[in-house]
Amino acid sequence: MSLRLLRLIAQGMNNLDIATILRIGESTVKSHISRTFSQLGVNDRTQAVIVTVKRGIVSL
């Protein structure tokens, strides 16, 4: 789930769009994002994308 979530964030999707694509609730998306940011040691979407691109997890 985290990898797919990070790819969608990197594509510029907002929480509602991500929820629709993943067929989960928007609050669930927020929870997944919070957990993923914590795992990456980042505070926002921009930092998350930068870190995942640098680590080769996501490509743009």
> What is residue 60's DSSP assignment?
-
pLDDT per residue as tens digits for the range 49-59? 999 999 999 98
pTM of the model: 0.90
Q: Are 52 and 10 in contact (CB under 8 A)?
A: yes
Closest CA to 1 of 33, 40, 27, 25: 33
CATH class in words for 2-54? mainly alpha
Place of tokens 């914590």: 38
pLDDT per residue as tens digits for the range 7-39? 999 999 999 999 999 999 999 999 999 999 999
Give the whole-angstrom CA distance, residue 40 versus residue 23.
Answer: 24
Residue 1 has pLDDT above 80, yes or no: no
